[in-house]
Amino acid sequence: MKLGLVTTGQGPRDYDRYFSGIARALGVEVEIVSDHILDPLGWDEIRPHLAEEGAPVLGAHVHVPGATGNRLGAGWDHVYVDLDWALPLFQDAIDRLEAQGAQGIVLCCSTDFAPGQFRAGVPLIAPCEAVMRVVSNAVATRGRLRLGLMSSIGHAVQDQALFRGQPFADRLELAYEGFEGDLMPAAERLAQAPRDLVVIWSFGLGTAASDVDGMAARLEAMFGCPVVMPHRLAALGAFALLPLGFDDKRMAGH
């Protein structure tokens, strides 16, 4: 079985190893194939498409000559490109992965896409939808929800507007903290008041070699509540959905 991953920037990324590690833990065999939408482009070709203020943005890790490094290391930078410009590149990546035989595809980002934005002949997993289902259900069962939201500062306005625009927004007590790179100082600020649920609106945070060890456990202890990570929902959702011959009986110890 082959699972395709679409990333927003350039490669290589740690997602291949992360999804492979989850598969091994679940006892399923899967080949992971990645397609990075900006890989064919050089920095001089990407730079003219950096988002203007107020435009919808897409965060992307890219190779930039002379960059001193972000959480991925020297030569990398985290930039914000125009989302509308990037949308056709997503579709191109989806088409290439299908042509390679992917039986399911994960969009490795937290971006909110319009319904029917992309075509795919195989299951297409968009983490935003999974996260919103978790938040919506928490609101419905609690009545009101003290939600902590964290994301890269470059799309702070966009992310807060997304949550404030949900049908359940009038029952949300939303607190936001933005970060770039190391999220722990922002997390400490967010933890100063009680939360019922915290969403880290950044795909893959915690999977890079330079990320804080035991990030999820530290955040859960800091907030004292569940912490939702889009990449984890995407991985577990993909392996539950796709035809992997999952051995439920073995998991039950028989």
What per-residue confidence (pLDDT) applies to 245?
86
Task: Give residue 43's pLDDT band: very low, low, confident or very high (50, 70, 90).
Answer: very high
Tokens 């490094």 found at: 69
What's the mean pLDDT when you consider all of the chain?
Answer: 95
Of 68 and 176, more confident = 176
Query: At 46, which helix (H) or strand (E)?
Result: helix 43-46
Are 122 and 132 within one domain?
no
CB 78 within 8 A of CB 179: no
DSSP letter at 202 equals S
- Rounded to whole angstroms, the Cα distance separating 138 from 126 reads 20
Instruction: Tell whether 150 and 25 lie within a shared domain.
Output: no
The answer to whether residues 120 and 18 belong to one domain is yes
29 and 117 housed in the same domain: yes
Assessment of whether the complete model's pTM goes beyond 0.85: yes
Cis ω for the linkage preceding 12 (within 30 of 0)? yes
133 and 191 belong to one structural domain: yes
Q: Which pLDDT belongs to residue 24?
A: 94
- Residues 89 and 155 reside in one and the same domain: no
Tally of domains within the chain? 2
The closest of 94, 95, 36, 24 to 239, measured between CA atoms, is 24
In DSSP notation, 106-174 reads EEES-----TT-S--SS-EE-HHHHHHHHHHHHHHHHSSEEEEEEEEGGGHHHHHHHHHTSTTGGGEEE
pLDDT at residue 69 tops 80: no
- Report how far residue 133's alpha carbon sits from residue 112's, in angstroms, rounded to the nearest whole number: 13
**Contact call for residues 75 and 46 (beta carbons, < 8 A):** no
Condensed to tens digits (0 to 9), the pLDDT of residues 98-150 reads 999 999 999 999 999 999 999 999 999 999 999 999 999 999 999 999 999 99
**CATH number of domain containing 172:** 3.40.50
Expressed as residue numbers, the domain containing 195 is 128-229
My answer on whether 143 and 118 are in the same domain is: no
Assigned token pair, 25: 């833990």
| pLDDT score recorded for residue 250 | 86
Residue 237: pLDDT above 80?
yes
Closest CA to 1 of 233, 245, 234, 251: 245
Mean local confidence (pLDDT), 213-232: 96
Same domain, 117 and 133: no
Q: Are residues 84 and 147 in the same domain?
A: no
Same domain, 17 and 116: yes
Q: How far apart are CA 211 and CA 246, in angstroms?
A: 31
For residue 44, pLDDT beyond 90: yes
pLDDT surpassing 80 at residue 72: yes
Residues β-bridged to residue 107: 6
Distance CA 219, CA 225 (A): 9
Same domain, 120 and 61: yes
Q: Indicate whether 118 and 141 sit together in one domain.
A: no
